[in-house]
Structure 1
Amino acid sequence: MAETVLVRYFAAAEDAAGRPEERIELAESTLGALRTELESRYGADMARVLRSGSFLVDRVVSRDPARRIGATVDVLPPFAGG
């Protein structure tokens, strides 16, 4: 069963997506499935952000592709100093 997730983009991730947020329907609710979808939609620019960036899921930073996601995921680029 497909689920819809609100994806919010910040800084370089927003630049790569061309928007601050969007709703995406995923067949599998994992970070790995979301990552694959984002790279498919937005290509090399988003792939570069995701290679060194991270996701915020339930207020916890994660890069684990098996991590289950909920209703909202933030896509965070790498930040200077952290």
Structure 2
Amino acid sequence: MKKITVRYFASIREAVGAGQEVVETAAATLGALRDELIARGGAHAASLARGKAVRIALDQTLSDESAALPDAAEVAFFPPVTGG
């Protein structure tokens, strides 16, 4: 099991009710971690659901869901930012 820090931003943070948490996971990729969080149900499932636009950063670098998830990583989930 890996211990990682998961951070939530903007509307995802509001829905989940926390800015960050430490998670123990067996997930090998960012996508697998997202699936584990969705499986919790409730606000996690609603805000991280498949089909919703969610960006993921791994150690402060935007990453694809296929990226490998190392131990002690920091993963951030946030909605796409629109400007104007």
Q: Give the structure-2-normalised TM-score.
A: 0.78
Distance 1:45 1:74, change over 3 A: closer
Alignment of 1:7-18 (within 5 A): 7-18=6-17
Gaps of 5+ in 2: none
Using the TM superposition, give the Cα deviation of residue 72 of structure 1 relative to its aligned residue in structure 2, in angstroms. 0.6
Q: Distance in 2 between matches of 1:16 and 1:68?
A: 26
Q: Distance in 2 between matches of 1:18 and 1:60?
A: 24
Task: Write the deviation string for residues 38-77 of structure 1: whole angstroms up to 9, x where unpaired.
Answer: 21222223317x7212111133212x22201242111111
Q: Give the structure-1-normalised TM-score.
A: 0.79
Gaps of 5+ in 1: none
C-alpha contact 1:17 1:46 (8 A) present in aligned 2? no
Counterpart in the other structure of 1:61? 62
Alignment RMSD: 2.1
Counterpart in the other structure of 1:33? 32
Percent identity, aligned pairs only?
A: 39
Q: Distance in 2 between matches of 1:32 and 1:45?
A: 15
